[in-house]
Amino acid sequence: MPRRIPTRVLLLLGALAMTAACGSSPADSAPSSDGRSRAGGNDTGTQVDLTRLKGVNIVSESSADRSCPWATSYPDVPGADAMTAAMKKDVEMRLAGFLGEDLGGPANCGGATESEGPELNVSFSFLVASGDVLGVRLATVDRTSNADGLGTKVYWYDGAAKKHRPSPGLIADDSRDAFVAALKKRLEKREGVIPDTITALDEQESRDSYLDDMAFTADGDLKVDFNRGTVGVPAAGRISVTLPGATVTPWLSDFGSRAQRQTTDPDDKLDLGATHTPAPTVAAQPHPGEDTTDCSKVKCIALTFDDGPAAPETGTLLKYLAQYKARATFFVVGQNVAAHPDIVRAEMKSGHEIANHSWNHPVLTNLTPAQVRSQLERTNAAIKTATGQEPTLFRPPYGAIDDKVRAATSLSPALWDVDTLDWKFHDPAKVAQTAISQAEPNDVVLVHDIHPTSVAAIPEVLRTLTARGYHFVTVSHLRATL
Ligand code: ZN
């Protein structure tokens, strides 16, 4: 893969490139017009330390349905409610479109057939979280027949004005025309750009939707990213234009100037003037000591919790498990580990196993081997940072695995025997009933600790199965003693 991006720019764009790497649609595999390939397994991570974002909550939803896989995730940062609401609205609209709900029919995965490999994935990365400026990019990979692959959008929050600012708000109103003229001049020289479409930048309404991904580089230049098929022919892929800082700085709005400054020279911390009290930290429960359970002699169950960690659900779950001296395995998603390393540490200190569930929950079989490696290695690194230990197991999202995925990692795959379908029911009684009625000795049971209703089902599961003589062990312990 060509690597011509300066290191400082890479730091800023690492998260985007990483997310882009999760898709393998034509949009991603074609080089963008500035010659950079977006298909590489770039793994530089975000430059924003998420643990500084006190009280941040990652809002995750996903299906576990292999025939219609979708996973969405966006951050809820205390104090930035208007921006969170804008992301929520966009994510819900994307999901409804993917499921075909906007067609008035039942969920149909956008009409895609299974052979087309439909998938929706919305993941996030922080661009700036400093002073009174917050910048978040959502990256959407939509693999349905009518969708165009990767789409990105940057959301800005102005803590001083307490306002969500769409990307065009970085430019002062009276400088928009000059800014757009400069953009068009650069676009006109690009291969694949359709002259007629860039005239849409002159119209206020289409301008705002075209210019929805604008962010500064570490040097203070302004980079504008256009989704595939907006200003160019689809075959040209994504197109980006970078305006030098010297050119763009005079055109910036007051907020744009602050966003630029907090990108090039960030303050130590984020202060959005939030009045929220951050959620209490998740405490580790007493470690039950070495596990001497012999699953070849007694009945064991391996409860597994996917897609977390999540606050406060995971903390509540740890308390329930401790009450029954039960151990479990947590298949964590890397982007959530980076936001909540304290919770993952508490899981480990409470005697549970931590395992890898990818960075942002893509269908791994849709990715290249380099992208699969990147998904798993990046998550391993986040787990190691949080706990000091690397996992040995991974669970492919949706259970989607093939020889290519297996060959891309030395981690051992771990699927499940019982699916509680908790992501679908959102009903504690039904989730508990499914787990209890279907579990047999030495089964691995799939639950998701991102849903309060799933966590609420666990006391009943622990109570009933303990009474029936079951022991709750980790997946690795089950394998080691069978
Ligand atoms: Zn999952």
Domain count, the chain: 2
Shared-domain flag, residues 253 and 310: no
Q: Give first-to-last CA distance, the chain, whole Å.
A: 44
In a domain, 28, yes or no: no
Domain end call among 202, 237, 264: 264
Shared-domain flag, residues 15 and 48: no
Can you list the alpha helix ranges (DSSP code H) found in 42-131?
81-99
> Between these two residues, 238 and 305, which has the higher pLDDT value?
305
- Predicted local distance difference test score (pLDDT) of residue 318: 98
Inter-axis angle of helices 313-323 and 452-467, to 10 degrees?
10
Shared-domain flag, residues 259 and 322: no
pLDDT-derived band at 35 (thresholds 50, 70, 90) equals: very low
- Predicted local distance difference test score (pLDDT) of residue 111: 56
Q: Which of 132, 221, 306, 422 is catalytic?
A: 306
In a domain, 292, yes or no: yes
- Predicted local distance difference test score (pLDDT) of residue 24: 33
Nearest one of 371, 379, 372, 325 to 354, comparing CA atoms: 379
CA 364 → CA 20, 149, 329, 405, distances in Å?
Answer: 14, 16, 21, 7
**Exposed, middle or buried by CB within 10 Å (0-12, 13-18, 19+), for 203?**
exposed
Residue type, 70: W
pLDDT-derived band at 117 (thresholds 50, 70, 90) equals: confident
- Predicted local distance difference test score (pLDDT) of residue 47: 60
- The reported pTM is 0.86
- Predicted local distance difference test score (pLDDT) of residue 7: 35
In tens, the pLDDT along 363-397 reads 999 999 999 999 999 999 999 999 999 999 999 99
313/87 Cα distance (integer angstroms): 22
Q: How far is the CA of 397 from the centre of ligand 1 (A)?
A: 5
CA 8 → CA 11, 20, 219, 220, 234, distances in Å?
Answer: 5, 18, 8, 11, 29
What average pLDDT does this structure show over 155-172?
96
pLDDT surpasses 50 at 212: yes
In a domain, 234, yes or no: yes
Residue type, 178: A
Residue with tokens 């980076």: 338
Q: How far is the CA of 329 from the centre of ligand 1 (A)?
A: 13
Q: Give the chain's length.
A: 482
- Percent pLDDT > 90 in the chain is 69
Q: Where is mean pLDDT largest: 38-52, 181-195, 205-219, 380-394?
A: 380-394
Q: How far is the CA of 73 from the centre of ligand 1 (A)?
A: 12
pLDDT surpasses 60 at 45: no
Q: How far is the CA of 66 from the centre of ligand 1 (A)?
A: 11
pLDDT surpasses 80 at 430: yes
3-state secondary structure of 413: strand
What average pLDDT does this structure show over 116-129?
90
| Cβ–Cβ under 8 Å, residues 70 and 64 | no
**Helix, strand, coil percentages, rounded to 5, for the chain:** 40, 20, 40
In a domain, 467, yes or no: yes
Q: How far is the CA of 225 from the centre of ligand 1 (A)?
A: 30
In a domain, 273, yes or no: no
- Predicted local distance difference test score (pLDDT) of residue 110: 60
pLDDT-derived band at 478 (thresholds 50, 70, 90) equals: very high
CA quadruple 175, 178, 184, 186: dihedral, nearest 10: -100
Shared-domain flag, residues 44 and 19: no
Q: How far is the CA of 12 from the centre of ligand 1 (A)?
A: 28
**Exposed, middle or buried by CB within 10 Å (0-12, 13-18, 19+), for 420?**
buried
pLDDT surpasses 90 at 18: no
Q: Which of 164, 340, 352, 448 is catalytic?
A: 448
Judge whether 173 counts as a catalytic residue. no
Q: How far is the CA of 305 from the centre of ligand 1 (A)?
A: 9
Shared-domain flag, residues 49 and 18: no
Q: How far is the CA of 216 from the centre of ligand 1 (A)?
A: 33
- Predicted local distance difference test score (pLDDT) of residue 27: 31
State the chain's mean pLDDT as an integer.
Answer: 86
Judge whether 306 counts as a catalytic residue. yes
Q: For residue 212, what is the domain's CATH number?
A: 3.30.565.40
DSSP per residue over 140-153, as a string? Answer: EEEESTT--EEEEE
pLDDT surpasses 80 at 33: no
- Predicted local distance difference test score (pLDDT) of residue 203: 86
Which neighbouring-strand residues pair with 394? 356, 413
- Predicted local distance difference test score (pLDDT) of residue 437: 98
User: What is the extent of the structural domain holding 117?
Assistant: 33-264
Q: For residue 410, what is the domain's CATH number?
A: 3.20.20.370
What average pLDDT does this structure show over 142-161?
85
Q: How far is the CA of 316 from the centre of ligand 1 (A)?
A: 20
Residue type, 231: V
> Between these two residues, 46 and 143, which has the higher pLDDT value?
143
Shared-domain flag, residues 183 and 321: no
In a domain, 278, yes or no: no
- Predicted local distance difference test score (pLDDT) of residue 235: 84
What average pLDDT does this structure show over 15-37?
32
Shared-domain flag, residues 19 and 37: no
Shared-domain flag, residues 287 and 380: yes
In a domain, 271, yes or no: no
Across 17-21, 304-308, 320-324, 451-455, least confident range: 17-21
Domain end call among 264, 292, 327: 264
In a domain, 326, yes or no: yes
**Exposed, middle or buried by CB within 10 Å (0-12, 13-18, 19+), for 375?**
buried
Q: What DSSP designation does 270 have?
A: B
What phi and psi values does residue 12 have, to the nearest 5 degrees? -75, -40
Q: How far is the CA of 449 from the centre of ligand 1 (A)?
A: 10
Q: How far is the CA of 306 from the centre of ligand 1 (A)?
A: 5
What average pLDDT does this structure show over 164-190?
95
Q: How far is the CA of 168 from the centre of ligand 1 (A)?
A: 35
In tens, the pLDDT along 287-302 reads 989 999 999 999 999 9
Nearest one of 193, 259, 178, 271 to 222, comparing CA atoms: 259
User: Half-sphere exposure of residue 304, counting CA atoms within 13 Å on the CB side?
Assistant: 30
Shared-domain flag, residues 204 and 335: no
Q: How far is the CA of 307 from the centre of ligand 1 (A)?
A: 5
Shared-domain flag, residues 325 and 258: no
Shared-domain flag, residues 188 and 294: no
- Predicted local distance difference test score (pLDDT) of residue 39: 30
Q: What DSSP designation does 284 have?
A: P
Shared-domain flag, residues 306 and 257: no
Number of H-type helices and E-type strands within the chain? 17, 17
310/59 Cα distance (integer angstroms): 8
